[in-house]
Amino acid sequence: MVTRTDSNRTGTATFGFDWLSVALVLGGVLFFYYVVPIVSLVLSVPAGDLLARMSNPTVVDSATTSLLSASISTVVATLFGLPLAYWLARTNGAVRKVVLAVAVLPLVLPPTVSGIVLLTVFGPGSPLGEVAIAAGVPLTRSLAGVILAQTFVASPFVVVTAKAAFESVDQTLEHASRSLGKSRLTTARHVTLPLAGPGILAGVTLAFARAIGEFGATMMMAYYPRTMPVQIWVAFVELGLDNAYPVAILLVLIATAALLILNTVASNPWE
């Protein structure tokens, strides 16, 4: 009886494979589907030629615009996203579910739809847009438009990831702080935020990476000044694929740097 049971348990191994090996083979196909195009892109342009193209004023301008706008968008997303994430992590009820659903909605909306949604509020034909134009601060075809688009699509990463980080903090520590007479704000600053810090940094990093790679909503809100994704599209349409490589490779390098941050100083939300 024991021999038969052992045989059943190891039956798959008898034929030379087990389900873990099958999973490795099938998953490996998808893994290489990720890796091969990235490697192909990096190897598509000689290093010397790539550096020469990187110094092109158009590339420099688009990189500068992307880094500046993404940095500002990330600061705005963090400034307003952390309080929302904290509230979501420390409340319950139907209202919380509705708020969370709305906060996550930009993640599932097609980017062009996000741009259309924003245009109804900030576009030239909207009341707010008209007021901004009259004040000399247009909210479309400007750096402000880029920031508005990036913040809309990237801020949910701060909210969702920070919410999970706040929920991971042992609330008995917060209760202990409150029992010592500390206010909720003081407790959040000196207890909750430090403990949730690595998870919050992960959300901030993801938001920056998403903002700098945003294309659809940015195209709708602010074709100018051009960000790197917009410049890639323009170079591809007007000059061909080869001319889109330098900025595309630069974006890959930035994304790789974001992953390095997630795996070193931040708390990787996927682990």
DSSP string, 103-139: HHHHHHS-HHHHHHHHHHHHSTTSHHHHHHHHTT--S
Closest CA to 54 of 43, 45, 65: 45
Q: What is residue 241's DSSP assignment?
A: G
> In whole angstroms, how far apart are CA 187 and each of 154, 170, 177?
28, 12, 6
Q: What is the pLDDT of residue 257?
A: 85
6 pLDDT above the threshold of 80: no
- What's the rounded Cα separation, in Å, for the pair 49 and 127? 48
Q: Where are the domains of the chain?
A: 49-112+141-262
Which tens digit of pLDDT belongs to each residue from 232-255? Answer: 898 888 888 878 888 888 888 888
> pTM of the entire structure?
0.85
Classify 255 as helix, strand or coil: helix
Q: What is the pLDDT of residue 223?
A: 86
Expressed in percent and rounded to 5, the helix, strand and coil fractions of the chain are 80, 0, 20
Which tens digit of pLDDT belongs to each residue from 80-120? Answer: 999 999 999 999 989 999 999 999 999 999 999 999 999 99
Q: What is the pLDDT of residue 48?
A: 76
12 pLDDT above the threshold of 80: no
Count H helices, E strands: the chain? 15, 0
- What's the rounded Cα separation, in Å, for the pair 226 and 65? 7
Across the chain, mean pLDDT equals: 87
Percent of the chain with pLDDT over 70: 91
Q: Band of the pLDDT at 13, cuts 50, 70, 90?
A: low
The class level of CATH for 49-112+141-262 reads mainly alpha
- What's the rounded Cα separation, in Å, for the pair 124 and 139? 8
- Looking at residues 48-52, what average pLDDT do you find? 75
Q: What is the pLDDT of residue 268?
A: 63
Which tens digit of pLDDT belongs to each residue from 138-163? Answer: 999 999 999 999 999 999 999 999 99
Residues near 7 by beta carbon (within 8 Å), at least 6 away in sequence:
14
